[in-house]
Structure 1
Amino acid sequence: MSNRLRAAALAAALLPLASPAEAYWEYGHESVAGVAWLQMKPATRAAVARILKDGALLETPTCPVRTIEQASVWADCVKPLGDRFSYAYSWHYQNVDICRPFDLKSPCKDGNCVSAQIERDARLLADPATPRREKVMALAFLVHFVGDLHQPMHAGDHGDLGGNKVAANYGYIGGRMNLHSIWDGPLAERAISTPPGGPAGLLAAVSPERRAAIAAGSVTDWSREMWERARTLAYQTLLGDPCAKEGGARPTLSEAQTQALIPQVREDIVEGGIRLARLLDDALGPDHKAPGQKKPSAS
């Protein structure tokens, strides 16, 4: 077991249950950001770097955004700052019921869900009139929230705070572990570090044609995909019947189940990175495209 995984296991055993806003732990978010950095166009990398140079405007010195990897965890890092950023609590997830037809309308009421905020942040980045401070904040939020959306337990729910109330063991690791924290931490750790590991290893395994297919679609399409994976992979693998009421013995995600899930978790991460790169290429490119926006018709 790696030092990172030991630390994750210890944290899970000692800390209280994670809230639905606790996100993908650092390794998952940094990996999504790293994939995006490698995948985006050179001009986009330069634009991202220019925006991040304004990071001091956020006035969060304990939570720097000097690199895209630092920006990817900024939205979690600022949570201890209390009222300054408490408004963003519900933006990290969307509790879409896995046992009902897919529907974002109720979970995203008034825009308070991860997919709505992804689109909002992309629009802010695409708008040349957005002030510099708001632009760097939109970039940090966007990088983080695309990572959140591609962790299935942030996209699907069964009345249990995205699996936070489903007590579970990860192999022999128990304590305060739950379905959500397993996917946030040790399972992501195993998947990312499986050779070929890291952002470069993850991306190298995907052909250019496959990358183009992954980048296609809308934020709603991606939300539907991750909601379905929450049902068929996360809940079903652990519980058998994803819609059953919790009860009986505390379930355990076995080593065999973990090995079977690793390829899909790797795919979740690389998809998040490729799609983040597309959003940034669109928003920061010459056409300043953003999700859901139509170009004005020629007069």
Structure 2
Amino acid sequence: MPPPTIVKLHITFGLVSVPVDVHPATARHSVPLHLVHTRCGSRVRLHRFCEAEGIEIPREEIARGYEADGRTVILTDADLADLPLPSMKNIEVLAFVPADRIDPLLLDRAYYLSVDGPVAARPYVLLRDAMRETGQVAIARAVIRTRENLAVLRPRGEIIAMQTMLWPDELRPADGLEPPAHEPRPQELEMADLLMEQLTRGFHLEQQEDAYQRALERVVEAKLTGAEPPHAPEAPTAPIGAVDLMAELERSVAAAKARETSPAEPPLKEARAKKSPPSAP
């Protein structure tokens, strides 16, 4: 089943307009934690109160407000959906740039764009294939969920994917965070290259899984049985200057080679399946 449509927009580049449906491309892992009272373990609920009247407000009586000239202007959902902004209904392409021009730190949420009707297929495919053949991506403006964003459009397989971006001035400068000047020795660089190569062997990004849930389940199980819960491994405490960097690199390469020849741990899903008791008939 394809992901749900969250909004219908038009990709506009020049005078070409492509009606598309926007679908969320990702689904974050949810952790089943909730707020409780530490004394009794009861659920804690958050309530919305009016500061002036001191009463709880139902959701249908809540709107957004904007402070202007000492007064509060109440904005309805209809007001926010009809702002006089070109990008309210359109994914407005501003320019095409090489893909490597995009700073990964600016990238935010990801979406899939699908054609909205058969007539849109021809210009959609044209845009997709033009970006693929030139190696360029489209920089656009788009409003998603009451916020205007910069966005980058790129081909992904047979579809066009869109990823919203932070505005350039939202990226904090890294001034003052640079390490002290240091020139690595040639043999250290060579050993670091060897370590990088060794760690990369047999690595498949698509096989990586979130182990947080399994670790949380281990702690919960220990607390239910009154046992001491497992703890996070200790972080190394020795400062870099106190060790022989070359020796550490050599030991790291040896450890990576040893892991490569040792039996692999079962995948996370398989481990969960083995742990779960069989369901009753």
TM-score (norm 1): 0.21
Tell me which protein shows more strand as a share of its residues: 2
Q: RCO (CA 8 Å, sep 6+): is it higher in 1 or 2?
A: 1
Tell me which protein shows more helix as a share of its residues: 1
TM-score (norm 2): 0.22
